[in-house]
């Protein structure tokens, strides 16, 4: 049944079970696993490892592309298997352990993990677990729904376990483009000059002698679960589309825009959906994740080509795409994440990047990761790779969270992921602040007037005015800069009347 998917003869007798594979992993092993935004992840070996740890405790370093599906990070965290975890996660259970300091989490720009492994900044990788749809006669593997860091892991790991996933049709071959930049001082140019350019191989080279086992699986990716557009996300998308229109009128953009990158989530989805109903044409994406709305745009003939590192879609879209994969192959490609997120390519193509903020401050600094400055949400992911190098770096957020008790526009962000230099435009449902070509004091006025929720506008303007009296390029009152955050902690709301009910 799986024989025709293992074309390299010597590998045919390496089939093992998931528990057998998991047994290769020892205490302190450094493990690399395929998986990017829930797609193409390990479905058998990592869960088997979690199970084994219940009776045979061990701790590992786990490095992935990005987040895993199927609650695998949670299973591993519950079983106390994770000593060190990088570069990204989205799991509620793991998140708790990270914030307790029980799992050492290294939050990384997603373009950099492979580079740093290659350079020896990290310890050697002992074992890589790589999901594949097929093994070619030369031992190379056809990945499934993501590439992530798998190509680098295959090169760098001492041993390799392949999860051959029978649920992914072998005709997935051809959607990947595998390229290696090589080592310093002979690092290669990444010769991509258009999103649709192919520069590498269809499969990931694997040394068959490093393969210690092949585990047969038959489970699909966890489906994406994307909330439909609501009033807030629709308003944000509306402001952004209006902004695009204005840029087109000013002659700075055309109706094809420039290659788009959209973070995953409901706002990104609303933005891409908004593009469906307008007269854009020949759109392209140079992004990380291809989601439902990407395929809607392709189907509508509005998007010519989409480049990413994973396909993360709902169940219905998954069926549609893989039943018509030969059609979609002409419109998309999946790349290693050090290529999809390469500074070089993002700058060269002039990507328009749309990412989500947890909070922004009046000067345009953005916090995407740390709730209240301390507690990790997911990680910086690729947002920094794109925001720094984009032609236009746009951040979106609703103006408040927690039923209005938190203002997402604050005097000073409690953690900085993206500094004012890397943020061109900020959008909330209230409006858009175009921060280009502005000094901090000018930025602040726009952020307060256009983006801040009515409940917080006045106090924010007060803060800014008082701070200006104390002076500076970037006026602040350090003793009050986090007063909204501490107020929220102490009273459950950032609003000042909650703090001092006695004065009302």
Interatomic CA distance for residues 294 and 276, integer angstroms: 10
Per CB under 8 A, contacts with its own copies among 2-41 are none
The span of 197-205, 247-255, 305-313, 448-456 binding its own copies (CB under 8 A) equals 247-255
Binding mask 351-380 for ligand COA (x = CB under 6 A): ----xx-xx--------x--x-----xx-x
Residue whose Cβ sits closest to ligand COA: 381
From candidates 219, 299, 344, 455, binder to its own copies by CB under 8 A: 344
The response to whether 98 counts as a known ligand-binding position is no
What does residue 16 show for φ and ψ, rounded to 5 degrees? -135, 175
The span of 171-179, 232-240, 396-404, 430-438 binding its own copies (CB under 8 A) equals 430-438
Give yes or no for a contact between 313 and 223, defined as CB atoms under 8 angstroms apart.
yes
The response to whether 378 counts as a known ligand-binding position is yes
Instruction: Report, in Å, the least distance between residue 381 CB and its own copies.
Output: 11
What the block records as the tokens of 402 is 């927690």
What does residue 460 show for φ and ψ, rounded to 5 degrees? -70, -40
Q: Percentages helix, strand, coil for the chain, rounded to the nearest 5?
A: 35, 20, 45
Q: Is 289 in the site for ligand COA (CB under 6 A)?
A: yes
Instruction: Using alpha carbons, list the distances in angstroms from residue 258 to 122, 181, 189, 303, 328.
Output: 36, 25, 22, 11, 21
Binding mask 209-228 for ligand COA (x = CB under 6 A): --------------------
From candidates 122, 171, 248, 314, binder to its own copies by CB under 8 A: 122
User: Please, which residue, 28 or 324, has the CB nearer to its own copies?
Assistant: 28
What the block records as the tokens of 4 is 């025709």
The response to whether 325 counts as a known ligand-binding position is no
Q: Is 465 in the site for its own copies (CB under 8 A)?
A: no
Phi-psi region of 464 (alpha: psi -120 to 50; beta: other; left: phi over 0): alpha
Interatomic CA distance for residues 229 and 269, integer angstroms: 7
Interatomic CA distance for residues 259 and 490, integer angstroms: 44
Q: Is 375 in the site for its own copies (CB under 8 A)?
A: yes
Q: Is 208 in the site for ligand COA (CB under 6 A)?
A: no
Interatomic CA distance for residues 354 and 392, integer angstroms: 8
User: Please, which residue, 109 or 302, has the CB nearer to ligand COA?
Assistant: 109
Size of the site for its own copies (CB under 8 A): 83
Interatomic CA distance for residues 120 and 118, integer angstroms: 5
Where does 406-487 show beta strands of DSSP type E? 406-407, 409-410, 425-428, 431-434
Is 420 known to be catalytic? Answer: no
Give yes or no for a contact between 292 and 272, defined as CB atoms under 8 angstroms apart.
no
Q: Is 205 in the site for ligand COA (CB under 6 A)?
A: no
User: Please, which residue, 381 or 431, has the CB nearer to its own copies?
Assistant: 381
Interatomic CA distance for residues 135 and 214, integer angstroms: 10
User: Please, which residue, 129 or 342, has the CB nearer to its own copies?
Assistant: 342
From candidates 185, 231, 326, 503, binder to its own copies by CB under 8 A: 185
From candidates 414, 428, 430, 452, binder to its own copies by CB under 8 A: 414
Q: Is 112 in the site for its own copies (CB under 8 A)?
A: yes
Give yes or no for a contact between 411 and 462, defined as CB atoms under 8 angstroms apart.
no
Instruction: Report, in Å, the least distance between residue 275 CB and its own copies.
Output: 17
Per CB under 6 A, contacts with ligand COA among 33-62 are none
Q: Is 388 in the site for its own copies (CB under 8 A)?
A: yes
What does residue 259 show for φ and ψ, rounded to 5 degrees? -55, 135
User: How is 409-430 classified by DSSP, letter by letter?
Assistant: EESS-SS-SB-GGG--EEEETT
- The single residue of 163, 288, 359, 459 carrying the catalytic annotation is 288
The response to whether 379 counts as a known ligand-binding position is no
The response to whether 382 counts as a known ligand-binding position is yes
Give the helix/strand (H/E) hosting 262. strand 260-262
Phi-psi region of 43 (alpha: psi -120 to 50; beta: other; left: phi over 0): alpha
From candidates 121, 188, 327, 402, binder to ligand COA by CB under 6 A: 402
Q: Which does 389 bind (CB under 5 to 8 A by kind): its own copies, ligand COA, none?
A: its own copies
The response to whether 402 counts as a known ligand-binding position is yes
Q: What is the contact surface with ligand COA in residues (CB under 6 A)? A: 263-265, 288-289, 355-356, 358-359, 368, 371, 377-378, 380-383, 401-402, 406, 408
Binding residues for CoA: 263-267, 378, 382, 402
Enzyme catalytic residues: 288
């Amino acid at each position: 049944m799986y024989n025709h998917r293992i074309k390299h003869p010597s590998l045919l007798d390496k089939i093992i079970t998931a528990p057998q594979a998991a047994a290769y992993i020892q205490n302190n092993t450094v493990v690399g696993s395929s998986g990017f935004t829930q797609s193409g992840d390990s479905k058998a070996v990592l869960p088997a490892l979690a199970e084994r740890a219940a009776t045979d405790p061990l701790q590992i370093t786990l490095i992935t592309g990005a987040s895993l599906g199927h609650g695998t990070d949670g299973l591993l965290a519950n079983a106390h298997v994770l000593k060190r975890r990088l570069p990204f996660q989205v799991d509620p259970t793991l998140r708790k352990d990270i914030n307790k300091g029980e799992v050492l989490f290294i939050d990384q720009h997603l373009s950099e993990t492979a580079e740093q492994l290659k350079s020896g900044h990290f310890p050697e990788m002992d074992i890589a677990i790589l999901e594949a749809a097929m093994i070619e006669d030369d031992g190379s593997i056809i990945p499934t729904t993501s590439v992530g860091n798998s190509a680098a892991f295959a090169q760098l790991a001492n041993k390799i376990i392949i999860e051959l996933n029978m649920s992914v049709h072998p005709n997935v071959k051809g959607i990947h483009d595998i390229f290696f930049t090589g080592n310093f001082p002979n690092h290669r140019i990444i010769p991509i000059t258009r999103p649709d350019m192919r520069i590498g191989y269809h499969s990931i080279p694997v040394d068959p002698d490093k393969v210690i086992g092949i585990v047969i699986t038959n489970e699909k990716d966890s489906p994406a679960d994307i909330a439909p557009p609501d009033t807030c996300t629709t308003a944000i998308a509306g402001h952004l589309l209006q902004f695009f229109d204005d840029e087109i009128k000013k002659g700075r953009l055309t109706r094809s825009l420039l290659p788009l990158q959209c973070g995953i989530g409901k706002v990104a989805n609303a933005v891409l959906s908004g593009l469906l109903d307008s007269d854009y044409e020949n759109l392209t994406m140079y992004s990380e994740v291809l989601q439902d709305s990407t395929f809607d745009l392709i189907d509508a003939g509005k998007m010519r080509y989409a480049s990413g590192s994973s396909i993360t879609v709902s169940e219905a879209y998954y069926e549609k795409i893989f039943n018509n994969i030969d059609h979609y192959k002409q419109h998309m490609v999946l790349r290693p994440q050090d290529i999809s997120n390469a500074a070089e390519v993002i700058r060269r193509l002039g990507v328009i990047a749309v990412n989500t903020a947890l909070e922004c401050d009046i000067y345009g600094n953005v916090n995407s990761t740390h709730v209240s400055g301390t507690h990790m949400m997911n990680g910086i992911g690729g947002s920094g790779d794109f925001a720094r190098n984009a032609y236009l770096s746009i951040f979106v957020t609703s103006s408040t969270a927690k039923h209005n008790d938190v203002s997402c526009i604050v005097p000073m962000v409690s953690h900085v992921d993206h500094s004012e230099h890397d943020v061109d435009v900020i959008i909330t449902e209230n409006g858009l602040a175009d921060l280009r070509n502005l000094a901090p004091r000018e930025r602040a006025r726009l952020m307060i007037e256009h983006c801040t929720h009515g409940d917080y506008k006045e106090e924010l303007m007060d803060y800014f005015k008082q701070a200006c009296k104390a002076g500076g390029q970037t006026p602040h009152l350090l003793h009050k800069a986090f007063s909204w955050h501490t107020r929220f902690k102490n009273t459950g709301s950032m609003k000042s009347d909650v703090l001092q009910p006695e004065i009302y």
